Structure 1
Amino acid sequence: MLRMPSIPRPGWQETITSQGRGFHHNVTPGPNDRPYWDESVYYSFTLAQVEELERVVDELHRMCLNVVDHVIERKRFADFGIPDWLHQPITASWKRRDAHVFGRFDLCYDGRGHAKLLEYNADTPTSLVEAAVIQWFWKRDTHPGADQWNSIHEHLINRWHTIGSGPLHLAHTAEEASGEDALNVAYMADTAAAAGLATHLLTMEQIGWDTGRQAFVDDQQRPIDTLYKLYPWEWLTSDDFGPAAVETQKRTPWVEPLWKMLLSNKALLALLWELHPGHPNLLPAYLDGPRDLSAYVAKPLLGREGAAIQIVTPAERHSAPGDYGAEGYVYQDFWPLPDVGGWRPVLGAWVIGDEPAGLGIRETQGLITDNTSSFVPHLIIG
């Protein structure tokens, strides 16, 4: 795995804007001024490395589904801090096998040793447009003879065929100010339309509840049956209309389904280690404290974008700001990201349905990947 220099395309800002990336502003202002999308570098993988990553993602996905089965059979919801009233609905969602679309595994990998799972974004993963579209067109324009691990677009279209034939509503919260969520939702609508589904975009705030019909309705008072929501279940279930949303799942499950609450919670990391101790693609992780770990990362069970993470080693301590943590923490073995020319990459490996589908890379100069980390493309060469 090599980090290679590359000459940016003339007018690349206008190019990626036309391809759906509506913002590419600098995320690290100052002496290390850098845009969010950075095509002045790329990562190069061999085919053998990518095939190994595909195998790892496939195995991790199946292990995660087994965790859901285990938690439900053993009634271990308390480990995830999930309120009692949600236990039965989550169980019912899993037993119905409510359809799921996608997720993103964040991996630590240096191209030589075993890839290590850092966390799983299973409910509301983002960085989708740049992974599926922007880096693919970059490859086509700059390295047409090379390959890329990237069949995300095709997999998404195929997956929508399994969701249903009726109108699909797609929503994000209007409170997300950067525009990233809106872009991701618009792209999901494009892939659903390519699968032949009628689509309608709106915000979560525009969704209403019709007491007469006992149904959610859109901004035109039409009933919402199938909904893709870029809005996490832990937020939704704590909203005033949360109980009605959960009750609705019996008739018209939303995407991602309710059972994904067990995979979007970082307690998953501890359960994976408990069920598969010593697995080469896992890191030791515990819910009751760091135990015998001499260096560890304390992660809020429901944290996002690296917020409120603490890294503790015998020599130093690093903390990221954030308001998460009231729900509890998981304590994971500290496995530093590889230093590649002064930058530390995190590999975001996508699974669509039940299939590994592609790769996106974000990198930082620090130890914690957050919303200031840049996205860089990749190629398969050799």
Structure 2
Amino acid sequence: MRRVPTGERPDWRETATANGFVFHTHDGAPYWDESHAYAFTLDEIERDIEEPSAELHALCLEFAGRAVGDETVLASLRIPETAWNAVRESWRRRDPSLYGRLDLAYGGAGAGPAKLLEYNADTPTALYETAVFQWLWLEQGLASGRLPAGADQFNALHERLIARLRELPLDGLLAFTAYAEAPEDRGTVAYLQDCALQAGRSAHFLDLSEIGLRVVDGRLCLRDESPIDTLFKLYPWEWAFGDAFGSAVGRTPTRFLEPPWKALLSNKGLLAHLWAMAPGHPNLLPAYFEEDPAKARLGTSFVRKPLYSREGANVLIVRDGAVLARDEGPYGGEGYIRQGLAELPVFDGRHALVGSWMIGDAPAGLCMREGPGPITTDAALFVPHYIEPA
């Protein structure tokens, strides 16, 4: 694993706009950065990232199967009791999932196994730029000679997404929703909607504020009361459960992508339960709920994370008893976990985070984000990657 200068395409911004990647810059600050890239060996991808990702995802599914039958687990995750039935029934129906992203601390061969930091199992973004724009970067980099001949990329997301959307048992109206005025969210959902169309599905977009609830049958619906049979929502379950329609989730015939059972995996409490299930697993870090006296086993170096948190908000990193980093935010009222400290690798002064994508139950691609500090926030840059030729 190396950080390699590659130089920018002189017209990459125009190329991005022409291909619908309109959120490559946030509030005047860069988000996409192709002045360099991360290079991996094929063995690093297959042995150190792909195989552990599949194993970790399977362990998460095993946990979900246990959790739905254990009220103490549901309570520990601070899932409201009014939502327990929705979570249980969606699992027992085997409501299918579409995608997710495992965030890993990994520094390359020789640096030790990849460690799971969290599972973005419900509403992960960075999807379009991973699946499409970094692949376009690879193709153009090969054509121009900026990348070595024979270079490849761990990236089957686009094809896998279309195939997954084609095979899902979706009947009737499929709708996609997000905050239309949030460029990254809108771009992510627009991309998934396009994948659905390529899969032969009829797909509609509506803003979150436009979703209605039909009195006649309890289905979610469009403005004209056309019933929504399946809804993809880029909106976290922990927010949805608390909304006005939250109590309707367990009763509505509308099905969801991601399904309610994914709330079990997008919760940082998952990390403590995984460690209890598989203590010593090479790809897990020891983790405990904040109220668990066993957290003392972590000593004076640990990371404290809210059960519900996004983009590093309210994360605290302590090393040898001193605060290494903290990020402020609106989370924490629901409780915290403590996780063993696995610092992100630093390349040329930048902290690099590996995102390993799951489509259905299979690993399908990789993205890299990097930032100036040890907490990956919404200011982190997206950097492309490639697999070095043999």
Normalising by structure 2, we get a TM-score of 0.93
Deviations 1:233-272 (A, max 9, x none): 1111100111113311xx3321100111100111000011
Cα distance in 1 for partners of 2:56, 2:152 equals 24
2:92 aligns with 95
> Matched residues in 2 for 1:126 and 1:135: separation?
14
TM-score (norm 1): 0.94
Secondary structure (helix, strand or coil) at the match of 1:93 reads helix
What does residue 55 of structure 2 align with? 59
Where does 1:191-206 land on structure 2 (aligned, <5 Å)? Answer: 191-206=195-210
1:69 aligns with: 65
Partner of 1:282: 284
1:165 positional shift: 4.3
Q: Does 1:218 align with 2:222?
A: yes
Matched, 1:43 2:38: yes
| Equivalent-residue separation in structure 2 for 1:207 and 1:89 (angstroms) | 19
1:106 maps to which of 103, 114, 118:
103
- Aligned 8 A contact 2:173 2:227 in 1: no
The CA deviation string for residues 122-158 of structure 1, in whole angstroms up to 9 with x for no partner, is 0001000110011000000012531000000011011
Q: Deviations over 1:177-222 (max 9, x none)?
A: 5410000000000111111000110111001122234322113331
Partner residue of 2:382? 375
User: Paired residue for 2:302?
Assistant: 296
3-state secondary structure, aligned to 1:126: coil
Superposed, 1:179-328 pairs within 5 Å as 179-248=183-252, 251-287=253-289, 288-289=291-292, 290-293=295-298, 294-317=300-323, 318-328=325-335
**Structure 1 residue 83: Cα displacement:** 1.7
Report SS of the residue matched to 1:114: coil
Q: Residue 72 of structure 1 aligns to which amino acid in structure 2?
A: V
**Conservation of the 8 A alpha-carbon contact between 1:237 and 1:246:** no
Secondary structure, in 3 states, of the residue corresponding to 2:167?
coil
What is the rounded CA distance, in whole Å, between the counterparts of 2:188 and 2:380 in structure 1? 18
Q: Partner of 1:6 in structure 2? A: 6
Q: Secondary structure at the match of 2:159?
A: helix
1:136 and 2:140 correspond: no
* Match in the other structure for 1:153: 158
Instruction: Report sequence identity in percent.
Output: 46
Residue pair 2:301, 2:321 contacting (<8 A) in 1 also: no
Distance, in Å, in 1 between the alignment partners of 2:350 and 2:129 is 19
Q: 1:162 aligns with which of 157, 162, 167?
A: 167
2:146 paired residue number? none
Q: How much has 1:67 moved relative to structure 2? A: 0.6
The aligned residue for residue 177 of structure 2 is 171
Deviation of 1:314 after TM superposition, in Å, equals 2.5
What RMSD over aligned residues (CA atoms) do the two structures have, in Å? 1.4
Structure 2: stretches of 5+ with no match in the other structure:
144-149
Give the 3-state SS of the residue equivalent to 1:64 in structure 2: helix
Change (3 A) 1:133 1:366: same
Using the alignment, how far apart are the partners of 2:215 and 2:255 within structure 1?
Answer: 19
Structure 1 distance, partners of 2:152, 2:379, is 28
Structure 2 match to 1:21? 21
- Which string of whole-angstrom CA distances, capped at 9 and with x for unpartnered residues, describes residues 304-338 of structure 1? 00001111222521220101001111100111101
Give the CA deviation at 1:159.
0.7
Deviations 1:259-309 (A, max 9, x none): 111001110000110000001100000013532212111101010000011
Look up the equivalent residue of 1:128 and give its one-letter code.
Answer: L
- The CA deviation at 1:26 is 5.7
CA 1:215/1:74 → structure 2, altered by over 3 Å: closer, same or farther? closer
- For residues 133 and 379 of structure 1, do their structure 2 counterparts lie closer, same or farther at Cα, with a shift above 3 Å needed? same
Q: Output one character per residue of 1:353-382: Cα deviation in whole Å (capped at 9) or x when no partner.
A: 011000010001101000000000000003
Compute the displacement of 1:35 (Å): 1.6
Find the aligned partners of 2:21 and 2:378 in 1 and give their Cα distance.
16
